[in-house]
Amino acid sequence: MDKTREISEYLGDVLVSKERIQEMVKDLGRRITEDYKGKKLILIGVLKGGFVFMADLVREIKIPIEMDFIAVSSYGSSTKTSGVVRLIKDIDVPLNDKHVIIVEDIIDSGLTLTYLKEMFSARNPLSLKICTAFDKPDRRKVELTAEYTGITIPDKYVVGYGLDYDGILRNLHDLYELDEKVYK
C-alpha cells in the first residue's frame, strides 16, 4: 500500500485512547519512582517502537535516572513475526553498578525481550526488569512476564503511540487496530 494516503484510511477502531494511555504512563511512573528511590537506575528504551512511550515515561519518573537506547530488528513490512532478533545498536555504558529497566512498546511472542534479557543479564546489572506499554499475552511463544505492564490488549495488530505499520503511523496519540484492508 502506498504511504501517501490520509491517515484515517489505514486505521480501524481505537483500541486504547490517548487519555487511557496517559493515565497508564502516570501510574507506571509513580510505581517506578516509588520502587527505585535511593537506587541508581538506568532505563533502556528499545527503538524504534519504544521511543514515544520512553519519552512520556521518563517524565513521569521523579528520581534521577540515566537513559539509553538500543535498536533491534522488528517485523519489517509484514505483520507476522519472523522470530529472529537482530541487534542493530547497543548501549556503551557498563551495567554492573546499576539497576536496569528495559522499556518496550509491546510484548507479542516474547522472543525479543527474552533475547534482550539474556544479553543484559550477562552484563551483571544489580537488577533487571521489564516495562512494557502494551501486552498481548495470547500470542506468547515463550514464557515471559513484564514486571511493569501498562495495558493488556487482545490479539490484534496495532499501530500508533510509537507502533508502526511498514515504518509509518508511529505518530498517533491513540492506539488503533490496523485496518484489515491494509494487509489483506
* Binding span for ligand 5GP by CB under 6 A among 33-41, 51-59, 117-125, 157-165: 157-165
Is residue 11 near ligand 5GP by the rule CB under 6 A? no
Contacts with ligand 5GP, 164-183, as mask; x by CB under 6 A: x-------------------
Contacts with ligand 5GP, 118-147, as mask; x by CB under 6 A: ------------------------------
Q: Which three cell numbers stand for residue 10?
A: 489505514
**Is there a contact between 152 and 166 (Cβ–Cβ < 8 Å)?**
no
Return all residues near 10 (Cβ < 8 A) that are at least 6 apart: 1, 159, 165, 168, 169, 178, 179, 182
177 burial type by CB count under 10 A (0-12 exposed, 13-18 middle, 19+ buried): middle
Measured from the CB atom, the residue of 33 and 79 that comes closer to ligand 5GP is: 79
Strand order in the sheet with 127-135: 87-89, 65-72, 41-47, 99-107, 127-135, 148-152
Whether 108 is catalytic is: yes
Binder among 25, 41, 105, 150 for ligand 5GP (CB under 6 A): 105
Binder among 16, 21, 95, 110 for ligand 5GP (CB under 6 A): 110
Is residue 74 near ligand 5GP by the rule CB under 6 A? yes
| Rounded distance between C-alpha atoms, residue 1 and residue 42, angstroms | 39
Could you give the 3-state DSSP secondary structure of residue 100? strand
Is residue 21 near ligand 5GP by the rule CB under 6 A? no
* Binding span for ligand 5GP by CB under 6 A among 6-14, 28-36, 57-65, 103-111: 103-111
Tell me the pairing of strands 127-135 and 148-152. Answer: parallel
Identity of the amino acid at 31? R
Binder among 106, 128, 131, 133 for ligand 5GP (CB under 6 A): 106
Interacting residues with ligand 5GP (CB under 6 A): 49, 74-75, 81, 104-112, 157-159, 163-164
Residues with catalytic function: 108
